Amino acid sequence: MDFSDLWLTFLLTLDATLRLATPLVLAAMAGLFSERSGVVDIGLEGKMLAACFTSASVAYVTGSPWLAMFAAIGVSMVFALIHGFATITHKGDQIVSGVALNILASGLTIILGLSWFRQGGQTPSLTQEGRFLSIELPGADLLANVPVLGPLYKELLSGHNILVYLAFALVPVVWWVLYRTRFGLRLRAVGENPKAVDTAGISVNGLRYRAVLIGGVLCGIAGSYIAIAHNAAFTRDMTAGAGYIALAALIFGKWRPIGVLFACLLFGFLQSFAMRIEGVPVPGIGAIPVQLIEAVPYILTVVLLAGFIGKAIPPKAIGKPYVKER
């Protein structure tokens, strides 16, 4: 194996990393808004799953990926609103509400899928028109023969669908909103000390609803990506824990956009590495069992979260419904 082959393998692994990290980034940013406002969002998984099903169904019926995505965002926002209504308006337990939404999404997508499409809970496969397709960046083929940098541009940077670019472009935007705008300042404040926000004459509930709804929008995009960009149909429980991994990335990145981005990339890389090493004999060990490799990201998450990332201090008011005292 010469250098250019090795380089190519490496680039392809990174390329897969980007594709696998995309839903994580979107979901983690969704969680970041919600949790920075003080609302635990364990329902990322459910919102994404509902969005997966909605986008796949709408794309199949209408053939338009954009329409599908907007429908998915709508459904995801409805889920977010339910979470908000239970936990912000009625001061319910945020974990319970989130888990309930996850269970609801998991069951509802299968039942509706069965009754609408009769394919064992799946939606019919989409044709290319119904999906978000890869975009070749200008000059990718032209530059392909330039050593080292050519493959980098063609394999790694070019050839993704629009949602991948959107997800990564989103991170600096989130950073800017969080740290450089009035909304961001208030959002960070309400997650730390909602009383301070209330006595400053700002509505705590209003801020939290907005944060939760933004989370809904981003989960809608994340779900659409999984169902109609990365895949071409809905299959049952297809999010496969991405929502929980995104939550882990959120803690791992200490609730800061840039840190969270790198955490998502790390988890994406582990997944793509697992896929690449699958079935390949490792010298001295032999082929590593698939199950073990697939478990690596989860094991690593547990190990890392158990104390290898230093102190992750969550927003102080997280998980606590705000009740005005007399």
> What is the nearest approach in angstroms of other proteins to the Cβ of residue 248?
23
Phi, psi of 306 (to 5 degrees): -75, 0
- Produce one character per residue of 210-248: b if its CB has 16 or more CB atoms within 10 Å, e if not: bbbbbbbbbbbbbbbbbbbbbbbbbbeebbeebbbbbbb
Nearer to other proteins, 195 or 320 (CB): 195
Look at residues 43, 62, 39, 40 and name the one whose alpha carbon lies nearest to residue 51: 43
Residues 265 and 14: their CA atoms lie apart, in Å, by 9
> What is the nearest approach in angstroms of other proteins to the Cβ of residue 326?
7
Nearer to other proteins, 184 or 259 (CB): 184
Residues 27 and 48: their CA atoms lie apart, in Å, by 8
> What is the nearest approach in angstroms of other proteins to the Cβ of residue 178?
11
> What is the nearest approach in angstroms of other proteins to the Cβ of residue 249?
21
CA angle 209, 211, 215 (to 5 degrees): 110
Nearer to other proteins, 50 or 189 (CB): 189
Residues 242 and 163: their CA atoms lie apart, in Å, by 16
Residues 188 and 172: their CA atoms lie apart, in Å, by 17
Tokens of 115: 């009754």
Nearer to other proteins, 48 or 204 (CB): 204
Q: How far is CA 171 from CA 3, 30, 274, in A?
A: 33, 11, 26
**Residues at the interface with other proteins (CB under 8 A):** 180-186, 188-189, 192-193, 195-202, 316, 324, 326
> What is the nearest approach in angstroms of other proteins to the Cβ of residue 137?
32
Nearer to other proteins, 210 or 236 (CB): 210
Tokens of 207: 């801020």
> What is the nearest approach in angstroms of other proteins to the Cβ of residue 106?
37
Nearer to other proteins, 146 or 196 (CB): 196
